[in-house]
Structure 1
Amino acid sequence: MSSIPLPLKGSCRCGRVEIEMSKAPICTAACHCPGCQKMSSSAYSLTAMVPADGFAVTKGETVVGGLHGADLHHQFCDHCKTWMFTRVAGVDWFVNVRPTMLEDATWFRPFMETFTRTKMPFAATGALRSFDEFPEMEELEPLMHAYLAWAETGEG
């Protein structure tokens, strides 16, 4: 994986909301769940799991959109409705950033893919690890360690 040119700035499509990622992700993923397929209007959504203290909205404000559930708080630009990032209730230490919001996403490659049981037959992500659903919480720490080793060496 190529090195990440931090800090990375980004924005929604209209530019009213700007973000900055100042720390490298702790994992990257592609999600094939039906909710992500519908919200992204694609076969899957992409996520960079960034430490919360390494992510900021630097201009404008976001609103909760998509599914208004108790656990997932999908953040959108209120004007252009771009899905920018997601915060998970009870998991304050990281933010799921949509890497395509960043000015440079050439470094991005999904390490894992989730919800492959609902994956569209043609969809290929190049991810190294695959899960039928989302991994259990106790699986996340070993996955993050494996991701960090892969991010440093390119070997997984």
Structure 2
Amino acid sequence: MSKDWNLPWEGGCRCGRVRFRITASPLLTAACHCTGCQRMTGSAYSLSVAIPGDGFAVIQGEPVIGGMHGEDHHFFCPYCMSWMFTRLGFTDAFVNVRAPMLDDPSWFVPFIETYTSEKLPWASTPAVHSYPQFPAPEDIEALLREFAQTR
């Protein structure tokens, strides 16, 4: 089923010095409850939209790597330090964009929630699927298909 996402979307950091554009439909939406996300957001969880890698581009400014400096790269505005997006070290297939960084995140609802094993006891989301850590690799394709049917 083809969805009209009204693309392209744009977004940026809090101060506006770094901007990005999304030209491909989202693959999945998520809330992550891991303690790393809690600490980087200063909240109970992070909210993200998985975007195909070739459908995401920084169009203004130059984000810097922050957070943990491991295999995954968390990109921030060098001025206001807003956490904007993450590129996973094992793939260029998608970029996890922080949903609140979109100019209009009003449509966003997390489809899955991850790391519920680390969630704060009072934190809840309307996610359809919950995982103590991440979904099993063999479940990803079915999740992507199911998410594609939700819009």
5 Å-filtered alignment, 1:6-155, equals 6-70=7-71, 72-151=72-151
The 1-side partners of 2:44 and 2:5 are apart by 25
1:125 shift after superposition: 1.1
Shift in alpha-carbon separation, 1:3–1:44, aligned structure 2, 3 A: farther
The 2-side partners of 1:108 and 1:3 are apart by 15
The 2-side partners of 1:11 and 1:75 are apart by 12
Query: Scaled by the length of structure 2, what TM-score is found?
Result: 0.94
1:3 shift after superposition: 5.6
The 2-side partners of 1:29 and 1:62 are apart by 22
Given that residues 67 and 74 in structure 1 are in contact (C-alpha distance below 8 angstroms), is that contact kept between their aligned partners in structure 2? Answer: yes
TM-align CA RMSD: 1.3
Shift in alpha-carbon separation, 1:118–1:3, aligned structure 2, 3 A: farther
Report how many residues are paired.
Answer: 149
Superposed structure 1 runs of 4+ greater than 4 Å apart: none
1:140 shift after superposition: 1.4
Where does the alignment leave 5 or more consecutive residues of structure 2 unmatched?
none
Letter in 1 for 2:57: A
> Percent identity between the aligned chains?
50
Given that residues 4 and 107 in structure 1 are in contact (C-alpha distance below 8 angstroms), is that contact kept between their aligned partners in structure 2? Answer: no
1:32-77 per-position Cα deviation (integer Å, ceiling 9, x unaligned): 000000000000000100001111100011111001112x100001
Report the 3-state secondary structure (helix = DSSP H, G, I; strand = E; otherwise coil) of the residue aligned with 1:10: strand
The 2-side partners of 1:134 and 1:102 are apart by 24
Letter in 1 for 2:120: M
